[in-house]
């Protein structure tokens, strides 16, 4: 890639200390290739700018080794062996002392670096039609409350499971259940048949 004046295009990376790092970028590197595994950072993405990166990470890194639940801030780290624990587990340890250290436990202190990683690690909702990305530690709560979560048929013996909008059609078509549209914030009249005398 050469600019109009014939000079090679250079990528700029603004470093936290205010210095600027420039390197020549060929077409292959600009497209994300190359065997160095590096990434070209656009000149507009300076310090403090938000740039997202899609990565794969071992799930166990995001889970507390003591309770095996996903980390959520605050995350704690042992000052002696570097062991990690969630806030709930640290609260249960006598004196907040690490039991994983072999020669006398260290003490747990907040780990802001891991808090930042845990807070920014997001995943897509697995339900079809839901465009939401949620923090990994909130994924289970989102899945159970997601409006796109599959619904099971309420009729005994029926194994239908589908999207909420498909369930209404299923109940009306296969089970002859009367389905009515309800609008929130408005008065809705629903006819109810009178009970029959015995």
Q: Is residue 166 part of a domain?
A: no
Q: Is residue 180 part of a domain?
A: no
| Whole-Å CA distances, 53 to 41, 49, 50, 65, 73 | 11, 13, 10, 26, 21
- What's the sign of the alpha-carbon dihedral 43, 46, 52, 53? positive
- Does residue 77 sit in the same domain as residue 44? no
175 or 52, which is more confident: 175
**Of 11-15, 21-25, 141-145, 170-174, the least confident:** 21-25
- Tokens, residue 132: 């939401």
What pLDDT band is residue 14 in, cutting at 50, 70 and 90? low
| Per-residue pLDDT, 26 | 40
Domain total in the chain: 2
Please return the burial class of 85, using the count of CB atoms within 10 Å of its CB with bins 0-12, 13-18 and 19+. buried
Q: Long-range pairs for 183-191 at CB < 8 Å and ≥24 separation?
A: none
- Does residue 11 sit in the same domain as residue 42? yes
- Does residue 63 sit in the same domain as residue 113? yes
Domain range for 72: 59-119
- Does residue 45 sit in the same domain as residue 83? no
Threshold 0.85, pTM exceeds: no
What pLDDT band is residue 74 in, cutting at 50, 70 and 90? very high
Statement: residue 57 has pLDDT above 70? yes
């Amino acid at each position: 890639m050469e600019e109009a004046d014939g000079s090679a295009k250079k990528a700029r990376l603004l470093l936290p200390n205010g210095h600027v790092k420039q390197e020549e970028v060929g077409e292959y590197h600009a497209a994300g290739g190359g065997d160095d595994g590096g990434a070209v950072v656009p000149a507009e993405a300076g310090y403090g700018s938000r740039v997202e990166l899609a990565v794969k990470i071992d799930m166990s890194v995001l889970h507390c080794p003591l309770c095996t639940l996903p980390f959520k801030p605050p995350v704690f780290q042992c000052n002696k062996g570097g062991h990690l624990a969630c806030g709930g587990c640290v609260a249960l340890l006598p004196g907040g002392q690490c039991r994983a250290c072999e020669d006398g436990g260290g003490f747990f202190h907040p780990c802001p670096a891991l808090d930042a990683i845990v807070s920014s690690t997001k995943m897509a909702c697995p339900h079809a039609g839901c465009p939401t990305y949620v923090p990994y530690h909130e994924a289970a709560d989102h899945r159970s409350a997601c409006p796109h979560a599959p619904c099971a048929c309420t009729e005994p013996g029926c194994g239908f499971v589908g999207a909420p909008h498909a369930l209404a059609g299923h109940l009306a078509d296969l089970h002859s259940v009367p389905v009515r549209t309800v609008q929130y914030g408005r008065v809705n009249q629903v006819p109810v048949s009178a009970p029959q005398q015995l």
